[in-house]
Structure 1
Amino acid sequence: MDHDRTKTRWEHRAEMPLTVASLTFLGSYAALVLAPRPDTTWDDVWLVLLLACWALFVVDYAVRWRLSGQGTTFVRTHWLDTLVLLLPLLRPLRIVRIYEAMKHRRGMPRLPLYARVIAYSGISTLLMGFTGALAVYQQEKGAPASRIRTFGDAVWWACSTLSTVGYGDVVPVTTGGRVIAAAMMAAGLALLGAVTGSFSSWLLQVFSREEDDEPPRRR
C-alpha cells in the first residue's frame, strides 16, 4: 500500500512537468526538422532540449519502475510506457491525460464515456498525425525517388494513412519511413475502431432509452 501511495503521489506531481517536457520535445524536434540550421547555436539549443526532455522521461520511468516493486515484470505489464520511452515522439499524447486530470481537479462535470473516447481519439489523431508527418518527412525528404519532398506532402500522407484511405499517390520509400507508416496504419485502425465503436454504443444507448420512455401502446 505504501508503494502504491508513493507511486500515485509521484505520478500526480510529475504529470504537469512531464506534459510540458513532452510538448517541448515535440517543438524542438519540429524545429530541427522544419527549420534546420546546421552548425548554428539554434540547432544545438534544440538538440540539448531534446536530450534534456528525454532524460526526464527516463527518470520518470525509472522512478515508477522502482516504486512499483514489480522488478522486471514492470516492463512487460507497462509495455506502452516502455514503447513511449523508446519512441518519445508519442509523449505529447500525455496532453489527453492532463486535460482529464485538470477537469477532475476543478470539479467540473466529466463528459460521458462515449464522448470522452471520441474527443480524446480526435486529439490523439491530430497529435499522432503531426508527429508522424514530421518523422516521415525527416526520413524521406532527401531520399532518392521519394515523393515526399515537402512537409505538406508529409501531412497529406499522414492524413490519408491515419484515415485508412491510402490513396497511394504519396508513399514512403525508405525503411524508416515504411516502419513509421506501418505504425501509423495500426494506430489509425485502432483510433477509428474506438471512435466508431463508441459512437455506435452511444446510439444504441439513446435508442434503448427512447424505447423505455415510450408509453405503452393501447390494444
Structure 2
Amino acid sequence: MSDRPTPPVPGRLEKWEQRTEVPLFAASLVFLTGYAVRVLAPLGVQPWRDIALALVAATWLLFAVDYGVRLRRSGLGVRFVHSHWLDTVVLLLPLLRPLRVVRIYTAVQQRADRPRLSLYARVMTYASLTAALLGFSAALAVYHQEQGAPGSTIRTFGDAVWWACATLTTVGYGDAVPVTPGGRVIAAFLMACGLALLGAVTGAFSSWLVEVFQREDERRPPGSG
C-alpha cells in the first residue's frame, strides 16, 4: 500500500469556494459589525455588547470551519497552510476578511459570461472598497488598542478615523499617532497597504491614460499633426 498523499480532486476546492465566498463575505461584515459594537459601545450598554461578542465568536467559528473544509478538499494536507498563506492570515486576523472583496467579484463573474467592468474600472473599484474597509477596520483596531493608554493622542473613534485616513493616504500629519505596541504594529501594516493601494491606483490610471492617447493617435489620419 502506498504512503503517498491522496492527490487533490480537481474542482472540489474551487466549487466549494464559489458556493461559499459570497455568504462568508456577508459573515465577515457581520463580524466587523459585531467587533465595532464591542469596541464602540459603552461598557454599561447591555445586552448589546454580549450580543456583539456572540456574533464575533460565531462568525469566527464559521471561518474556522470553512478553513478546515478547504484544507481537506485541497488534498494538500499541512502544505495548504503555506500555499494559502493569505487564508491563514485572514483566519488569525478576521478583521482582514472583508478585504477579500476581489475574490467576491471573481466568484460572481465566474457565473456570468464576461466581466461587466473594464480592467481599469475594476482596479479603481477594488482599490476604493479595499481602502474603505481597511481604513475602517484599522481605525477600530487602533482605537481598541489606544483608548485609555497613557500618553495616547487617539482618544476618540473620530481621532482613530482621522489617523487611519492620514496613514492610508501616506500623508502622515503626526497629530495623532499610536503609542502602544499593538497600535504601532497596526500602523506599520496600514502604511504598507496604503503604499500598495496608491501604487495600484496610480499604475492603473497611468495605463488608462496611455491607452487613451494611443487610441487618439490611431484615429488621426496619416501625416496629420
* Class of the TM-score when normalised by the shorter of the 2 chains: over 0.9
Give the whole-Å Cα distance in 2 for the aligned partners of 1:72 and 1:38. Answer: 44
Give the whole-Å Cα distance in 1 for the aligned partners of 2:117 and 2:218. Answer: 23
Is it true that 1:203 corresponds to 2:209 in the alignment? Answer: yes
**C-alpha contact 1:164 1:185 (8 A) present in aligned 2:** yes
**C-alpha contact 2:154 2:176 (8 A) present in aligned 1:** yes
- 1:74 pairs with one of 67, 80, 93: 80
Pick which of 33-42 and 48-57 moved more: 33-42
What residue number does 2:68 align with?
A: 62
- 1:136 pairs with one of 130, 142, 161: 142
- 1:9 pairs with one of 11, 15, 22: 15
C-alpha displacement of 1:99: 4.3
What residue number does 2:3 align with?
A: none
C-alpha displacement of 1:39: 8.1
**TM-score, normalised via structure 1 length:** 0.92
Cα pair distance change 1:42/1:120, threshold 3 Å: same
- 1:153 pairs with one of 148, 154, 159: 159
Extract unaligned runs of 5+ from structure 2.
1-6
The DSSP-based 3-state class of the residue aligned with 2:170 is coil
* Alignment size in residue pairs: 218
Cα pair distance change 1:23/1:80, threshold 3 Å: same
**TM-score, normalised via structure 2 length:** 0.90
The DSSP-based 3-state class of the residue aligned with 1:36 is coil
Pick which of 161-170 and 69-78 moved more: 69-78
**C-alpha contact 1:4 1:67 (8 A) present in aligned 2:** no
Q: 1:9 corresponds to which letter in structure 2?
A: K
Cα-to-partner distance string for 1:81-135 (whole Å, 9 max, x where unaligned) = 1111111001122344334544564557521112101111111000000000000
C-alpha displacement of 1:43: 1.8
Runs of 4+ residues deviating >4 angstroms: 106-109
Cα pair distance change 1:104/1:65, threshold 3 Å: closer
Cα RMSD for the two superposed structures: 1.9
Give the whole-Å Cα distance in 1 for the aligned partners of 2:134 and 2:45. Answer: 30
Give the whole-Å Cα distance in 1 for the aligned partners of 2:87 and 2:135. Answer: 20
Give the whole-Å Cα distance in 2 for the aligned partners of 1:77 and 1:213. Answer: 47
Pick which of 23-32 and 201-210 moved more: 201-210
Is it true that 1:117 corresponds to 2:123 in the alignment? Answer: yes
Which structure: greater helix fraction?
1
Pick which of 172-181 and 30-39 moved more: 30-39
What residue number does 1:31 align with?
A: 37
Q: 1:57 corresponds to which letter in structure 2?
A: F
Percent of matched pairs sharing the same residue: 62
Give the whole-Å Cα distance in 1 for the aligned partners of 2:111 and 2:42. Answer: 40
The DSSP-based 3-state class of the residue aligned with 1:57 is helix
The DSSP-based 3-state class of the residue aligned with 1:3 is coil
Q: 1:131 corresponds to which letter in structure 2?
A: S
**C-alpha contact 2:18 2:107 (8 A) present in aligned 1:** no
